[in-house]
Amino acid sequence: MKAFSFNYIVVFVVVIFFSSCDKDPVIPNEEELITTFLYVLTPAGGGTPVIMNFNDPDGDGGLAPMISGGVLQSNMSYTGLINLTNTSVNPWVDITEEVREEATDHQFFFIPENVNLQVTYDDTDTNANPIGIATTLITTNPSEGQLKIILRHLPNKTAAGVNTGNIQNAGGETDIEVIFPVRIQ
Protein backbone atom coordinates (compact mmCIF):
# COMPACT_ATOMS: atom_id res chain seq x y z
CA MET A 1 0.00 0.00 0.00
CA LYS A 2 1.17 3.44 -0.83
CA ALA A 3 2.23 5.69 1.92
CA PHE A 4 -0.20 8.32 2.90
CA SER A 5 -0.13 11.19 0.46
CA PHE A 6 -0.65 14.71 1.57
CA ASN A 7 -2.02 15.58 -1.83
CA TYR A 8 -5.42 14.47 -0.70
CA ILE A 9 -5.66 16.73 2.24
CA VAL A 10 -8.15 19.32 1.24
CA VAL A 11 -7.46 22.74 2.55
CA PHE A 12 -10.20 23.39 5.03
CA VAL A 13 -10.99 27.01 5.57
CA VAL A 14 -14.13 28.29 7.19
CA VAL A 15 -14.22 32.03 7.29
CA ILE A 16 -15.83 33.20 10.44
CA PHE A 17 -16.47 36.86 10.53
CA PHE A 18 -15.77 37.45 14.19
CA SER A 19 -15.52 41.14 13.49
CA SER A 20 -18.85 41.42 11.70
CA CYS A 21 -20.76 39.78 14.52
CA ASP A 22 -20.95 42.58 16.98
CA LYS A 23 -24.41 42.84 18.39
CA ASP A 24 -26.31 45.65 19.86
CA PRO A 25 -28.91 43.98 22.04
CA VAL A 26 -31.89 46.01 23.19
CA ILE A 27 -32.58 46.01 26.91
CA PRO A 28 -36.16 44.84 27.37
CA ASN A 29 -38.75 47.15 28.80
CA GLU A 30 -39.76 45.37 31.97
CA GLU A 31 -43.44 46.12 31.60
CA GLU A 32 -44.61 43.40 33.92
CA LEU A 33 -42.44 44.34 36.86
CA ILE A 34 -43.99 45.73 40.02
CA THR A 35 -41.38 47.83 41.73
CA THR A 36 -43.48 49.64 44.31
CA PHE A 37 -46.22 48.36 46.56
CA LEU A 38 -48.07 50.83 48.79
CA TYR A 39 -50.77 49.98 51.30
CA VAL A 40 -52.30 53.32 52.31
CA LEU A 41 -54.37 53.19 55.51
CA THR A 42 -56.48 56.23 56.27
CA PRO A 43 -58.08 56.38 59.75
CA ALA A 44 -61.89 56.40 59.59
CA GLY A 45 -63.01 59.97 59.95
CA GLY A 46 -59.77 61.34 58.55
CA GLY A 47 -56.27 61.99 59.80
CA THR A 48 -52.73 61.29 58.64
CA PRO A 49 -52.62 58.05 56.64
CA VAL A 50 -50.26 55.23 57.57
CA ILE A 51 -48.33 54.04 54.49
CA MET A 52 -46.77 50.61 54.28
CA ASN A 53 -44.19 50.54 51.52
CA PHE A 54 -42.27 47.82 49.66
CA ASN A 55 -39.84 49.26 47.13
CA ASP A 56 -37.51 47.31 44.82
CA PRO A 57 -36.70 49.49 41.77
CA ASP A 58 -34.22 47.06 40.16
CA GLY A 59 -36.44 43.99 40.34
CA ASP A 60 -35.45 40.50 41.52
CA GLY A 61 -31.70 40.85 41.34
CA GLY A 62 -29.38 43.69 42.25
CA LEU A 63 -30.08 45.54 45.48
CA ALA A 64 -32.37 44.16 48.20
CA PRO A 65 -35.83 45.73 48.49
CA MET A 66 -36.63 48.43 51.08
CA ILE A 67 -39.57 47.64 53.32
CA SER A 68 -41.30 49.94 55.79
CA GLY A 69 -44.26 48.82 57.87
CA GLY A 70 -46.58 50.88 60.00
CA VAL A 71 -47.71 51.84 63.46
CA LEU A 72 -51.49 51.64 63.93
CA GLN A 73 -53.76 52.81 66.72
CA SER A 74 -55.63 50.16 68.71
CA ASN A 75 -59.38 49.70 68.28
CA MET A 76 -59.43 51.77 65.18
CA SER A 77 -60.93 51.36 61.73
CA TYR A 78 -58.86 52.28 58.65
CA THR A 79 -59.83 52.39 54.98
CA GLY A 80 -57.11 50.64 53.05
CA LEU A 81 -56.11 51.23 49.45
CA ILE A 82 -53.45 49.32 47.53
CA ASN A 83 -51.31 51.09 44.99
CA LEU A 84 -48.96 49.22 42.63
CA THR A 85 -46.49 50.96 40.33
CA ASN A 86 -43.78 50.00 37.90
CA THR A 87 -41.11 52.68 38.12
CA SER A 88 -38.63 50.80 35.91
CA VAL A 89 -40.26 52.16 32.76
CA ASN A 90 -40.68 55.70 31.63
CA PRO A 91 -43.36 56.94 32.13
CA TRP A 92 -44.27 54.97 35.24
CA VAL A 93 -47.07 52.47 34.88
CA ASP A 94 -49.98 52.15 37.28
CA ILE A 95 -50.24 48.39 37.78
CA THR A 96 -53.24 48.78 40.12
CA GLU A 97 -55.27 49.72 37.08
CA GLU A 98 -54.12 46.59 35.22
CA VAL A 99 -55.17 44.44 38.15
CA ARG A 100 -58.56 46.14 38.30
CA GLU A 101 -59.07 45.50 34.58
CA GLU A 102 -58.52 41.80 35.20
CA ALA A 103 -60.33 41.78 38.53
CA THR A 104 -61.88 38.35 38.06
CA ASP A 105 -58.38 36.87 37.68
CA HIS A 106 -56.87 38.54 40.73
CA GLN A 107 -57.42 38.64 44.48
CA PHE A 108 -55.46 40.07 47.39
CA PHE A 109 -55.21 38.16 50.64
CA PHE A 110 -54.36 39.77 53.99
CA ILE A 111 -52.83 37.51 56.60
CA PRO A 112 -52.03 39.06 60.02
CA GLU A 113 -49.44 37.26 62.13
CA ASN A 114 -49.32 38.01 65.87
CA VAL A 115 -51.14 41.31 65.44
CA ASN A 116 -54.72 41.89 66.43
CA LEU A 117 -56.21 43.18 63.22
CA GLN A 118 -58.66 42.07 60.61
CA VAL A 119 -59.02 43.06 56.95
CA THR A 120 -62.29 42.88 55.03
CA TYR A 121 -62.93 43.44 51.35
CA ASP A 122 -64.63 46.62 50.11
CA ASP A 123 -64.67 45.91 46.38
CA THR A 124 -65.95 43.19 44.07
CA ASP A 125 -65.35 41.99 40.53
CA THR A 126 -68.08 41.45 37.91
CA ASN A 127 -68.86 38.06 39.45
CA ALA A 128 -69.43 39.70 42.84
CA ASN A 129 -66.26 38.13 44.25
CA PRO A 130 -63.79 40.23 46.24
CA ILE A 131 -60.66 41.84 44.74
CA GLY A 132 -58.93 43.51 47.70
CA ILE A 133 -57.68 46.77 46.21
CA ALA A 134 -60.08 48.59 48.55
CA THR A 135 -60.36 47.22 52.07
CA THR A 136 -61.24 48.06 55.65
CA LEU A 137 -58.70 47.27 58.36
CA ILE A 138 -59.89 47.09 61.96
CA THR A 139 -57.46 46.88 64.87
CA THR A 140 -58.20 45.67 68.41
CA ASN A 141 -55.69 45.33 71.28
CA PRO A 142 -52.11 46.59 71.15
CA SER A 143 -49.73 43.98 69.75
CA GLU A 144 -46.69 43.63 67.54
CA GLY A 145 -46.19 41.30 64.59
CA GLN A 146 -46.59 41.41 60.85
CA LEU A 147 -49.10 41.63 58.04
CA LYS A 148 -48.56 39.46 54.98
CA ILE A 149 -50.25 40.62 51.76
CA ILE A 150 -50.50 38.25 48.82
CA LEU A 151 -51.79 38.89 45.31
CA ARG A 152 -52.85 35.75 43.52
CA HIS A 153 -53.23 35.57 39.78
CA LEU A 154 -55.93 33.16 38.52
CA PRO A 155 -57.08 31.95 41.93
CA ASN A 156 -60.14 29.77 42.27
CA LYS A 157 -62.39 32.43 43.77
CA THR A 158 -65.27 30.00 44.20
CA ALA A 159 -63.27 27.54 46.37
CA ALA A 160 -64.33 27.21 50.01
CA GLY A 161 -63.45 30.24 52.13
CA VAL A 162 -61.70 32.17 49.36
CA ASN A 163 -64.30 34.95 49.16
CA THR A 164 -63.87 35.68 52.86
CA GLY A 165 -60.11 36.01 52.44
CA ASN A 166 -58.95 32.51 53.31
CA ILE A 167 -56.07 31.67 50.98
CA GLN A 168 -55.99 27.96 51.80
CA ASN A 169 -57.90 26.71 48.76
CA ALA A 170 -57.23 29.60 46.42
CA GLY A 171 -54.47 28.11 44.27
CA GLY A 172 -53.24 30.27 41.42
CA GLU A 173 -49.92 31.90 41.05
CA THR A 174 -48.43 34.43 43.44
CA ASP A 175 -47.77 37.77 41.77
CA ILE A 176 -47.00 39.55 45.03
CA GLU A 177 -46.08 38.35 48.48
CA VAL A 178 -44.86 41.02 50.87
CA ILE A 179 -44.57 41.08 54.64
CA PHE A 180 -44.79 44.34 56.61
CA PRO A 181 -43.83 44.74 60.26
CA VAL A 182 -46.86 46.14 62.13
CA ARG A 183 -47.23 47.54 65.65
CA ILE A 184 -50.59 48.34 67.21
CA GLN A 185 -50.34 50.77 70.11
Residue 35 Cβ vs other proteins, minimum distance, rounded to whole Å: 8
- Does 128 contact other proteins by CB under 8 A? no
- Give strand pairing partners of 50: 41
What is the C-alpha to C-alpha distance for residues 128 and 131, in angstroms, rounded to an integer? 9
* Residue 100 φ/ψ, nearest 5 degrees: -65, -35
> 29 to 58, contacts with other proteins by CB under 8 A?
29-32, 34-35, 37, 54, 56-58
Beta strands in 30-116 (DSSP E): 36-43, 50-55, 66-68, 70-72, 77-86, 93-94, 106-113
> 82 to 101, contacts with other proteins by CB under 8 A?
88, 95, 98-99, 101
Please report, as ranges, the residues that interact with other proteins according to CB under 8 A. 1, 3-4, 8-10, 12, 14, 16, 18, 21, 23, 25-32, 34-35, 37, 54, 56-65, 88, 95, 98-99, 101-102, 150, 153-154, 156, 171-178
